[in-house]
Amino acid sequence: MGVVFAKTRKGQDEIATKAGGLTPRVRRVLIFVDGKRSVDEMRGMLQSDDLQHTLGMLEEEGYIEVSSVTDAAGKSARAQLPLASITAFRELPASPDPVSLQQARNFMTNTLNAFVGALGTSSLLNRIEQASGHAELRTMYDEWYHAIVMSREGRREAEGLRGKLLAVI
């Protein structure tokens, strides 16, 4: 299944006025969103390691929206149901799951140590370790992701790491 995004009115206004203060990289992704190209096609054109995260941010801030979905056979259909954001967290379990919580903590800590190092992220590492639940860890997700993509090696692995963390957080 391939997702196709289109610019919203806010996205079109941003292209015309640059009033939203988007970074040049994020703005370039917004320019490529045309209602015709799928996310996979854009990935081949933009060579952005964090494309999924950038599209999710643009969607959450109202610059783009899902316009259609393509099935495995390549047939395009207008998106009928509201789809979950591509950076959406999984539903929290009814009761706290300490194993899953520790897995999320370990994953965030290990990836920060491996790709960024403890020196620049010690405050974030401490807050991750002290987090009392999944909801608190989720508030640190953007900071974690930003730290990962700011490192050279992390940028290359960011999308895969993001997917793995979203599975446990």
CATH number, position 51: 1.10.10
What is the pLDDT averaged over residues 46-68?
83
Same domain, 7 and 55: yes
Dihedral angle at the C-alpha atoms of 36, 44, 164, 108, nearest 10 degrees?
A: -110
Long-range contacts of 112-121 (CB under 8 A, 24+ apart): 112/144, 112/147, 112/148, 115/147, 115/148, 115/151, 115/153, 115/154, 115/157, 116/147, 116/148, 116/150, 116/151, 116/154, 120/147, 121/147
- Residue 88: inside a domain, yes or no? no
pLDDT, mean over the chain: 83
Last residue of a domain, one of 43, 78, 113: 78
Same domain, 65 and 128: no
Number of structural domains, the chain?
Answer: 2
In the predicted structure, residue 141 carries a pLDDT above the cut 70: yes
Higher-confidence position of 36 and 94: 36
What is the pLDDT averaged over residues 133-151?
87
**Percent of all residues in the chain with a pLDDT value above 70, rounded to a whole number:** 87
- Residue 55: inside a domain, yes or no? yes
DSSP state of 136: H
Q: How many CB atoms lie within 10 A of CB 90?
A: 12
- Residue 160: inside a domain, yes or no? yes
Q: What is the pTM of this model?
A: 0.55
Same domain, 155 and 120: yes
pLDDT value at position 13? 92
Residue 55, domain extent: 2-78
